[in-house]
Structure 1
Amino acid sequence: MPKRDPGPSVKDPELYEALRDEGDSKEKAARIANAAAASSRSSVGRKGGKAGDYDDWTVERLRERAAEIGIEGRSSMRKAELIEALRSH
Protein backbone atom coordinates (compact mmCIF):
# COMPACT_ATOMS: atom_id res chain seq x y z
CA MET A 1 0.00 0.00 0.00
CA PRO A 2 1.44 3.44 -0.86
CA LYS A 3 2.23 5.77 2.00
CA ARG A 4 -0.22 8.56 2.73
CA ASP A 5 1.18 12.06 2.48
CA PRO A 6 0.25 13.76 5.76
CA GLY A 7 1.12 17.17 4.36
CA PRO A 8 3.50 19.86 5.55
CA SER A 9 1.73 20.45 8.88
CA VAL A 10 2.80 17.08 10.33
CA LYS A 11 6.18 17.34 12.04
CA ASP A 12 6.86 13.60 12.50
CA PRO A 13 5.60 11.73 9.41
CA GLU A 14 6.84 8.32 10.59
CA LEU A 15 4.90 8.49 13.84
CA TYR A 16 1.88 9.87 11.97
CA GLU A 17 1.90 6.84 9.63
CA ALA A 18 2.27 4.41 12.53
CA LEU A 19 -0.69 5.97 14.34
CA ARG A 20 -2.85 5.96 11.19
CA ASP A 21 -1.97 2.28 10.64
CA GLU A 22 -3.19 1.60 14.20
CA GLY A 23 -6.52 3.16 13.24
CA ASP A 24 -6.23 6.62 14.77
CA SER A 25 -8.05 9.44 12.99
CA LYS A 26 -6.08 11.89 10.86
CA GLU A 27 -6.60 14.65 13.43
CA LYS A 28 -5.52 12.53 16.40
CA ALA A 29 -2.48 11.11 14.57
CA ALA A 30 -1.36 14.60 13.51
CA ARG A 31 -1.86 15.99 17.02
CA ILE A 32 0.20 13.21 18.63
CA ALA A 33 2.91 13.32 15.95
CA ASN A 34 3.28 17.09 16.30
CA ALA A 35 3.38 16.91 20.10
CA ALA A 36 6.05 14.22 19.90
CA ALA A 37 8.12 16.31 17.51
CA ALA A 38 7.85 19.38 19.75
CA SER A 39 9.22 17.45 22.73
CA SER A 40 10.89 14.13 23.22
CA ARG A 41 8.74 11.18 22.16
CA SER A 42 8.96 9.61 25.60
CA SER A 43 7.23 12.57 27.21
CA VAL A 44 4.17 12.29 24.97
CA GLY A 45 1.59 9.99 26.50
CA ARG A 46 -1.48 8.52 24.89
CA LYS A 47 -4.74 8.37 26.71
CA GLY A 48 -7.01 5.44 26.25
CA GLY A 49 -10.71 5.21 26.79
CA LYS A 50 -13.71 7.01 25.42
CA ALA A 51 -13.63 9.50 22.59
CA GLY A 52 -15.14 12.09 24.89
CA ASP A 53 -18.05 12.55 27.25
CA TYR A 54 -20.21 14.20 24.62
CA ASP A 55 -23.47 13.27 26.37
CA ASP A 56 -23.03 16.21 28.75
CA TRP A 57 -22.35 18.73 25.96
CA THR A 58 -25.01 21.04 24.53
CA VAL A 59 -26.12 20.60 20.93
CA GLU A 60 -24.55 23.99 20.16
CA ARG A 61 -21.16 22.87 21.52
CA LEU A 62 -21.41 19.54 19.67
CA ARG A 63 -22.07 21.41 16.41
CA GLU A 64 -19.09 23.70 17.07
CA ARG A 65 -16.84 20.68 17.62
CA ALA A 66 -18.24 18.99 14.50
CA ALA A 67 -17.44 22.16 12.53
CA GLU A 68 -13.87 22.20 13.91
CA ILE A 69 -13.19 18.73 12.53
CA GLY A 70 -15.20 19.15 9.32
CA ILE A 71 -18.21 16.89 9.78
CA GLU A 72 -20.68 17.59 6.98
CA GLY A 73 -24.43 17.79 7.56
CA ARG A 74 -23.98 18.77 11.19
CA SER A 75 -26.55 21.59 11.09
CA SER A 76 -29.41 19.14 10.51
CA MET A 77 -28.21 16.45 12.94
CA ARG A 78 -29.86 15.71 16.26
CA LYS A 79 -27.79 15.41 19.43
CA ALA A 80 -27.44 11.60 19.22
CA GLU A 81 -26.38 11.84 15.57
CA LEU A 82 -23.78 14.50 16.38
CA ILE A 83 -22.37 12.36 19.19
CA GLU A 84 -22.13 9.31 16.93
CA ALA A 85 -20.47 11.34 14.16
CA LEU A 86 -17.92 12.81 16.59
CA ARG A 87 -17.11 9.45 18.16
CA SER A 88 -16.66 7.72 14.81
CA HIS A 89 -14.54 10.47 13.27
Structure 2
Amino acid sequence: MAENDSDRSSIKDPEQYEALRDEGMSKEKAARIANTSRKKAAKKGGNHPQYEDWTREQLYEKAQQIGIEGRSDMDKDDLIQALRSH
Protein backbone atom coordinates (compact mmCIF):
# COMPACT_ATOMS: atom_id res chain seq x y z
CA MET A 1 0.00 0.00 0.00
CA ALA A 2 1.50 3.34 -1.02
CA GLU A 3 1.65 6.17 1.44
CA ASN A 4 0.47 9.58 0.37
CA ASP A 5 1.95 12.92 1.39
CA SER A 6 -0.67 13.51 4.08
CA ASP A 7 0.47 10.32 5.85
CA ARG A 8 3.94 11.81 6.23
CA SER A 9 3.02 15.47 6.73
CA SER A 10 4.08 15.41 10.39
CA ILE A 11 7.43 13.71 9.74
CA LYS A 12 10.28 16.14 10.49
CA ASP A 13 12.94 14.21 8.54
CA PRO A 14 11.19 12.47 5.60
CA GLU A 15 14.48 11.25 4.10
CA GLN A 16 15.45 9.47 7.31
CA TYR A 17 11.89 8.11 7.67
CA GLU A 18 11.98 6.59 4.17
CA ALA A 19 15.43 5.07 4.78
CA LEU A 20 14.21 3.45 8.00
CA ARG A 21 11.07 2.13 6.29
CA ASP A 22 13.24 0.71 3.47
CA GLU A 23 15.19 -1.18 6.17
CA GLY A 24 11.92 -2.79 7.25
CA MET A 25 11.17 -0.68 10.32
CA SER A 26 7.53 -0.19 11.29
CA LYS A 27 5.85 3.11 10.39
CA GLU A 28 5.49 3.97 14.07
CA LYS A 29 9.12 3.35 14.98
CA ALA A 30 10.45 5.07 11.85
CA ALA A 31 8.30 8.11 12.59
CA ARG A 32 9.45 8.27 16.23
CA ILE A 33 13.09 8.19 15.14
CA ALA A 34 12.64 10.63 12.24
CA ASN A 35 10.81 13.07 14.52
CA THR A 36 13.55 13.10 17.17
CA SER A 37 16.15 15.79 16.66
CA ARG A 38 19.59 14.35 16.00
CA LYS A 39 21.04 16.49 18.78
CA LYS A 40 18.55 15.15 21.30
CA ALA A 41 18.99 11.57 20.07
CA ALA A 42 22.74 11.82 20.51
CA LYS A 43 22.40 12.49 24.24
CA LYS A 44 22.69 9.58 26.63
CA GLY A 45 19.38 8.21 27.79
CA GLY A 46 18.11 8.02 31.35
CA ASN A 47 18.86 5.46 34.00
CA HIS A 48 16.36 2.93 32.70
CA PRO A 49 17.33 -0.59 33.82
CA GLN A 50 18.22 -3.16 31.17
CA TYR A 51 15.28 -5.33 30.09
CA GLU A 52 17.21 -8.35 31.36
CA ASP A 53 16.78 -6.97 34.89
CA TRP A 54 12.98 -6.76 34.53
CA THR A 55 10.65 -9.59 35.53
CA ARG A 56 8.63 -11.36 32.85
CA GLU A 57 5.51 -9.69 34.29
CA GLN A 58 7.05 -6.23 33.93
CA LEU A 59 8.08 -7.00 30.36
CA TYR A 60 4.59 -8.31 29.60
CA GLU A 61 2.98 -5.12 30.97
CA LYS A 62 5.29 -2.95 28.83
CA ALA A 63 4.51 -5.08 25.76
CA GLN A 64 0.81 -4.69 26.52
CA GLN A 65 1.17 -0.89 26.83
CA ILE A 66 2.71 -0.59 23.38
CA GLY A 67 0.48 -3.19 21.74
CA ILE A 68 2.84 -6.07 20.93
CA GLU A 69 0.75 -8.93 19.60
CA GLY A 70 1.31 -12.52 20.72
CA ARG A 71 2.85 -11.42 24.01
CA SER A 72 0.92 -13.94 26.10
CA ASP A 73 2.77 -16.79 24.34
CA MET A 74 6.21 -15.19 24.77
CA ASP A 75 8.81 -16.08 27.36
CA LYS A 76 11.08 -13.45 28.91
CA ASP A 77 13.67 -13.57 26.10
CA ASP A 78 10.95 -13.32 23.42
CA LEU A 79 9.43 -10.29 25.18
CA ILE A 80 12.82 -8.58 25.37
CA GLN A 81 13.42 -9.16 21.67
CA ALA A 82 9.92 -7.92 20.77
CA LEU A 83 10.32 -4.78 22.87
CA ARG A 84 13.70 -3.98 21.38
CA SER A 85 12.50 -4.46 17.83
CA HIS A 86 9.26 -2.51 18.23
1:24, CA displacement in angstroms?
4.0
In terms of fraction of residues, the more helix-rich structure is 2
Q: Map 1:27-66 onto structure 2 (within 5 A).
A: 27-36=28-37, 42-46=38-42, 53-66=50-63
Q: Which runs of 5+ in 1 are unaligned?
A: 37-41
1:45 to 1:23, Cα distance in 2 relative to 1, 3 A:
farther
Equivalent residue for 1:72, pick from 69, 74, 77: 69
> In the alignment, what sits opposite 1:7?
7
Matched, 1:81 2:78: yes
Give 3-state SS (helix, strand or coil) of 2:41's partner.
coil
1:84, CA displacement in angstroms?
2.6
- The alignment of Structure 1 onto Structure 2 pairs a total of residues equal to 79
> Quick check: 1:62–1:83 contact (8 Å CA) kept in 2?
yes
RMSD: 3.3
CA distance in 2, matches of 1:19, 1:46: 17
Q: Provide the identity percentage.
A: 56
TM-score normalised to structure 2 length: 0.58
